Structure 1
């Protein structure tokens, strides 16, 4: 199976929310990039629906999660060289 890049973004809305299990699950999907608070890019062989289903067990009913397959195009600013390099190689 071919890896593809997915954008994952979330809002955990309950005060004192435990991010640890969600972050562990995201990192377990494959290669990852994380330079923004609640936004990740991962490389995975899973579909967007499979990624959503894997992660939603770590959310409360009032949390929000967005998983989007990336097209290979992107633009950004303000990231360090290592972060920019990862994005260029994995989008």
Structure 2
């Protein structure tokens, strides 16, 4: 199963996005450490995941769903890298 990086900008002040977070949590195994970025390990294809999550967003919000590969780098806690290694 692939791992997708899901990143979003929520542009409506005061809007309750609990439904989006619930959808992300129901997507399979997930990791969330960066504000509006989630890693999701799911059997869904990127377009399926995007379509499902899009229903929880407003028209002026933005959403990016992109497959994670082994070519990655960054500065995060050790447990984040362990999660990525375990699920890729």
Q: TM-score range by the shorter chain?
A: over 0.9
Secondary structure of the residue that 1:84 maps to in structure 2?
A: helix
The answer for the alignment partner of 1:54 in structure 2 is 52
- For residues 75-86 of structure 1, the aligned pairs below 5 Å read 75-77=73-75, 79-86=76-83
Unaligned runs of 5+ in 2: none
Report the alpha carbon displacement of residue 80 of structure 1 after superposing the two structures with TM: 2.1
Aligned length: 88
Runs of 4+ in 1 over 6 A off after TM superposition: none
TM-score, L = length of structure 2: 0.92
**2:69 counterpart residue number:** 71
What is the RMSD computed on CA atoms of the aligned residues?
A: 1.1
**Which runs of no fewer than 5 residues in structure 1 stay unpaired?**
none
Tell me the distance in 2 between the aligned counterparts of 1:72 and 1:51.
21
Segment of structure 1 superposing worse, 64-73 or 45-54: 64-73
Contact 2:17 2:57 in 1 (8 A): no
Matched, 1:88 2:85: yes
CA distance in 2, matches of 1:72, 1:28: 24
Mapping of residues 18-37 of structure 1, within 5 Å: 18-37=16-35
Alignment equivalent of 2:12, drawn from 7, 10, 14: 14
TM-score, scaled relative to structure 1: 0.89
